[in-house]
Amino acid sequence: MSYSDKENINILCAVMLGHGVTHAVVCPGSRNAPIVHNLNECPQVKCYPVTDERSAGFFALGMAEQLQEPVAVVVTSGTALLNLAPAVAEARHRHLPLVAISADRPMAHIGQQMGQTIDQPGALSRFTMMDVNLVEPHDDLTRWHCNRLANEALLVARRGGPVHINVPYDEPLFNFTVTALPVERIITSMTVSVDEMALLEVMKPVKMAQKPMLVIGQLDRGILTYELMNHLVPDLAVLVESLGSDVGGNQFDELLPLVEHNPDFAPDFVIYMGGTLVSKRVKAYLRRLADVPMIQISADDEVHDTFGHLTQVIHCAPDAALHALEKLFGIATCNPFARLWYETLDQIAWHFDYLRPDFSQMLAVKCALRSATELNEPVVLHFANSQPVRLANLFARQHVRCNRGVNGIEGTVSAAAGCAAVTDERVLCVTGDLSFFYDQNALWNSNLRGNLRILLLNNGGGGIFAQLPGLEASPARDTMIAAGHTTHARGCCEQHGVEYRAAHGSEDLYSGITWLVQDGSDRPRLLEVVTDVAHDRHVWQQAVEALHHKLNYL
């Protein structure tokens, strides 16, 4: 057998075979000839030649309806694709798994008076359930992207509905020199109801693993409770940030630099659930574990290949999956792998619990969170992105909310104010200066209540930019990139009737935190902690270096 030398075509064909696509309707043309050639070379695929694309689309639709499985229809570039629109529209309204595959020219040729060339990506999007564009790969990242998009499209088709896969490639077209299709990763998918026995069956591979790991992103409060966490930890290494747990995170981000090359800490099976993670380190670490099976628990219909090696998506609610895991690991046997992680994480927790930092943003967040914990009433924590949420992951012992879906700096105070308007719980919003001043119109709101408390960390710019290695070489870092400023919040607070205090040292901070968090008021309160960005960076580095010194045996 001989296959095309176009890598995106070979990836697509291998993934199609992995998803059980065995029927393809093929239309004539030179641009799609490499795709047709490849499918014809695959012994698992039966090809049906049909000249008219409009008829071909309905021919494939009839097959898909009868077989109840994805059927491909392959067309050349240009208006040939548009002739599939009637069949694709019919498939959408009848939930039939039609896979429209179109050959295309590279994007650079679009609009340059090249023959049979139109803007093909998204051309059928009014009627498809998903559209992907498989550009020619040139490195590992683009190969992964091509594989993921092909998997996602075919998973969507299998759930019942049409998809469009556009495949652009340059000439020459007819080099059939590859002797075998690549071995491609196939992502499987299943939807599991709340039936506990079905979930337990799905989760069995986790129980079989020697070194299982559960990584948890952002979850709502009340899902990963203290009791549930205690039931999971004896046998399962759970890595969770403060955005995903009622008892805060376990500071794994500070451990990873010390253990990322230690095989004793490497899992052999990973489950991921929840929304986004703050930690870039854990994403980079797990992406390097190419041979480790990874399952995603997804509450929606989407595929999130966060770590680059996803093998299965299980569509179910995260609380149902967590309770299934609790049942699965109901008899604690103290897995040595989990024990290794927790013994080390306990040392890190102890370090930050007893850390006594100088006056800084770190001290301010630590004091505010401790004060909130000491209240005899629940407190809703809202943290801004960037440095504040990273400090939350060091010190929070309760659930933290954050606009982490897109990770933007806007809207933190507004979201906290909206929360405070519909709850009687105290709402503590911790924000950096750029986030606050960008969103200062949150205070221009007649709905503000006295349960809203704001801790403003003001060090005169985007402090996190001072921690990015290499950026110090740019003369634009402080003034343009980090947006250095001399603005303070007193005037804004006075204008909108928000009670205000400032802290310029430790004594101001301690009394200010008590005033902010614990005392009652019928108006919102804001404590502005004014620090120096260089000193904030120094305090952070001191804390991390002291920790690494304690754990240097790793």
- pLDDT 10s digits, 367-423: 999 999 998 888 999 999 999 999 999 999 999 999 998 888 889 999 999 999 999
What is the full DSSP assignment across 164-231?
EEEEE-PSP-----B-S-------EEEE--S-HHHHHHHTHHHHH-SSEEEEE----TTSS-HHHHHH
- pLDDT score for 550: 83
Instruction: Give the CA radius of gyration of the chain.
Output: 28
In a domain, 27, yes or no: yes
Task: Let me know whether 308 and 380 are in one domain.
Answer: no
In a domain, 351, yes or no: no
- pLDDT score for 196: 63
Task: Let me know whether 369 and 310 are in one domain.
Answer: no
Tell me the range of 28-42, 96-110, 304-318, 471-485 where mean pLDDT is highest. 28-42
In this structure, the chain runs to a length of 554
- State yes or no: pLDDT of 540 exceeds 70: yes
Band (61; pLDDT cuts 50, 70, 90): very high
Among candidate residues 180, 466, 209, 160, the one with its CA nearest the CA of residue 335: 209
State how far the Cα of 70 lies from the Cα of 95, in Å rounded to an integer.
11
- pLDDT score for 242: 96
Q: What CATH number is attached to the domain comprising 24?
A: 3.40.50.970
- Mean pLDDT throughout 9-36? 96
Q: What CATH number is attached to the domain comprising 313?
A: 3.40.50.1220
Query: What percent of the chain stands above pLDDT 70?
Result: 94
Task: Let me know whether 164 and 207 are in one domain.
Answer: no
Of the three residues 298, 313, 345, the one that is the final residue of a domain is 345
Task: Let me know whether 341 and 415 are in one domain.
Answer: no
Task: Let me know whether 134 and 228 are in one domain.
Answer: no
State how far the Cα of 362 lies from the Cα of 382, in Å rounded to an integer.
16
What are the start-end ranges of the H helices in 470-520?
490-496, 506-513
Q: Is the dihedral of CA 113, 115, 118, 120 positive or negative?
A: negative
- State yes or no: pLDDT of 509 exceeds 60: yes
In a domain, 318, yes or no: yes
Residue 439 Cα to chain centre, angstroms: 25
In a domain, 329, yes or no: yes
- pLDDT score for 521: 87
CB 307 within 8 A of CB 288: no
State how far the Cα of 485 lies from the Cα of 504, in Å rounded to an integer.
17
- pLDDT score for 385: 93
* End-to-end C-alpha distance for the chain, whole angstroms: 51
- Mean pLDDT throughout 530-543? 94
In a domain, 67, yes or no: yes
- pLDDT score for 320: 87
Residue 188 Cα to chain centre, angstroms: 19
Residue 247 φ then ψ, to 5°? -115, 20
State the residue range of the domain holding 401. Answer: 361-550
99 strand-pairing partners: 72, 163
Query: What percent of the chain stands above pLDDT 90?
Result: 76
- State yes or no: pLDDT of 467 exceeds 80: no
- pLDDT score for 325: 87
- pLDDT score for 478: 63
State how far the Cα of 340 lies from the Cα of 137, in Å rounded to an integer.
40
Among candidate residues 425, 350, 433, the one with its CA nearest the CA of residue 388: 433
In a domain, 429, yes or no: yes
- pLDDT score for 553: 60
- Close Cβ partners of 507 (under 8 Å, ≥ 6 residues apart): none
Task: Let me know whether 370 and 318 are in one domain.
Answer: no
State how far the Cα of 230 lies from the Cα of 21, in Å rounded to an integer.
44
Amino acid at 290: A
- pLDDT score for 138: 94
Task: Let me know whether 140 and 214 are in one domain.
Answer: no
Mean pLDDT of the chain: 91
Domain count along the chain: 3
Which structure tokens are listed for 484?
């250095």
- pLDDT score for 482: 60
- Mean pLDDT throughout 337-349? 94
Of the three residues 138, 161, 184, the one that is the final residue of a domain is 184
Band (518; pLDDT cuts 50, 70, 90): confident
Which structure tokens are listed for 147?
């594989």
- State yes or no: pLDDT of 113 exceeds 80: no
Task: Let me know whether 314 and 200 are in one domain.
Answer: yes
Q: Packing angle between helix 387-395 and helix 361-374, nearest 10 degrees? A: 50
How many CA within 13 A on the CB side of residue 530? 11
* Tokens 């928000």 sit on residue: 498
State how far the Cα of 88 lies from the Cα of 164, in Å rounded to an integer.
9
In a domain, 19, yes or no: yes
- Mean pLDDT throughout 249-270? 94
Task: Let me know whether 149 and 233 are in one domain.
Answer: no
Task: Let me know whether 120 and 213 are in one domain.
Answer: no
Give the pLDDT confidence of 176-231 residue by residue, as tens digits. 999 999 999 999 988 876 566 667 777 778 888 999 999 999 999 999 999 888 88
Of the three residues 321, 345, 369, the one that is the final residue of a domain is 345
- pLDDT score for 19: 97
Paired sense of beta strands 188-191 and 130-133, if any: unpaired
382 strand-pairing partners: 401, 429
- State yes or no: pLDDT of 463 exceeds 60: no
- State yes or no: pLDDT of 252 exceeds 60: yes
Q: Is the dihedral of CA 426, 432, 433, 437 positive or negative?
A: negative
CA distances (Å), origin 86, targets 61, 100, 126, 162: 11, 12, 11, 12
CB 203 within 8 A of CB 312: no
Band (112; pLDDT cuts 50, 70, 90): confident
Which structure tokens are listed for 465?
């930019």
- pLDDT score for 192: 78
Task: Let me know whether 173 and 199 are in one domain.
Answer: no
Task: Let me know whether 381 and 300 are in one domain.
Answer: no
- State yes or no: pLDDT of 538 exceeds 60: yes
State how far the Cα of 22 lies from the Cα of 48, in Å rounded to an integer.
11
- Mean pLDDT throughout 24-35? 95
Burial 269-295 (b: 16+ CB within 10 A, else e): bbbbbbbbbbbebbeebbeebeebbbb
State how far the Cα of 420 lies from the Cα of 436, in Å rounded to an integer.
17
- pLDDT score for 476: 63
The count of other CB atoms within 10 Å of the CB of residue 191 is 12
- State yes or no: pLDDT of 486 exceeds 90: no
CA distances (Å), origin 234, targets 208, 211, 212, 293, 418: 15, 12, 11, 21, 39
Strands in 394-451 per DSSP E: 400-401, 426-432
In a domain, 356, yes or no: no
